[in-house]
Amino acid sequence: MINGKLYDWESITVGLPYGTAIAISGIDYDDELAGELAYGKGAAPVGYGNGNYTASAKITLLRDEFNKLLDFARSQGQALYRLPLFPITVSYANDGERTRTDEIRGCKFTKAAHKGAQGDTKLEVELEILVTGKIIRDGVSPI
């Protein structure tokens, strides 16, 4: 933090397979490593075991940005859901500080939701993403 300025939406830059997304209104990503307590004699756990690592993501694009994504798929001779696995980068930067970048590896679009209604001032497309790799946060692997 410099001069009290914290990260906000303006601090984020999102990179998609075709370049930097400008007309993006949201990105969500998360991951987890399942864990389970192991019990032996008595009522208290004696340890734990790790389960599977899973990650997921979704982005919300304005329709104009979604059109760029469709144009990219067309230029690659691919259907939207058949694009090869790609990374998504999410960079956080404030003036005077170093940029921190998260990389969501092995992404694949799995669902596109369109919605429009009378009185809307913008049209958005929400894309669900299957994450086959890991989310590397500022160079740190989760597992």
Task: Write down the pLDDT at residue 96.
Answer: 82
On whether the CB atoms of residues 70 and 127 are closer than 8 A, the answer is no
Which residues does residue 15 pair with via DSSP β-bridges, in sequence order? 20, 89
Asked if 84 contacts 108 with a C-beta cutoff of 8 angstroms, the reply is no
User: Which tokens in the block code for residue 141?
Assistant: 């692997």
The span from the first CA to the last CA of the chain, in angstroms, equals 28
- State residue 2's pLDDT score: 60
Q: In a 3-state reduction of DSSP, which class is residue 52? A: strand
Q: Where are the domains of the chain?
A: 10-30+45-137
Residue 9's Cβ-count burial label (10 Å; 0-12, 13-18, 19+) is: exposed
E-strand ranges in the chain read 12-16, 19-21, 24-39, 45-62, 86-92, 100-115, 124-131, 135-137
Distance, CA of 138 to CA of 143 (rounded, Å): 14
Q: What pLDDT sits at residue 131?
A: 98
Task: Report residue 24 CA to chain centroid gap.
Answer: 12
pLDDT < 70 positions in the chain: 1-3
CATH fold, domain 10-30+45-137, is: Pnp Oxidase; Chain A (2.30.110)
